[in-house]
Amino acid sequence: MEHFGLGEIDLRCLNERVSLDIKPILVMMNNGFTGYDKVLPKTNPITDDMIPTFYGDGKYAEIIKYAEDEAKDFIKAYQTLKQKMPSLRSLL
């Protein structure tokens, strides 16, 4: 923040910020983690358990690609949930 002239970092703002963790919503909508790929199709076929092997083999580009794809998939899921949230509210 100092580099861009935005002042000093106030760590209290990170703790006091309003945030939304949608992971429990995704888990509940999917009845657990079973069939995760049916709720949120993965872009990249790599799985979490493969990352340590890739790291050990020095396949850093594959790890970076995996992280980028997971982030894109998460954003896509968030946008979908945001669109469907009004209809989900009616179920409550």
Cα–Cα distance between 33 and 54 in angstroms, integer? 24
Along the chain (92 residues), what's the average pLDDT of each consecutive run of 10 residues?
70 68 68 56 84 95 90 78 68 56
Domain ranges of the chain: 11-89
**pLDDT 10s digits, 19-34:** 677 776 766 666 554 5
> For the whole model, what pTM was predicted?
0.54
Contacts of 9 by beta carbon, 8 Å cutoff, 6+ apart: 1
Q: What is the pLDDT of residue 54?
A: 95
Spatial CA neighbour of 44 closest among 57, 20, 62, 56:
62
C-beta separation of 27 from 33 below 8 A? yes
Cα–Cα distance between 70 and 32 in angstroms, integer? 19
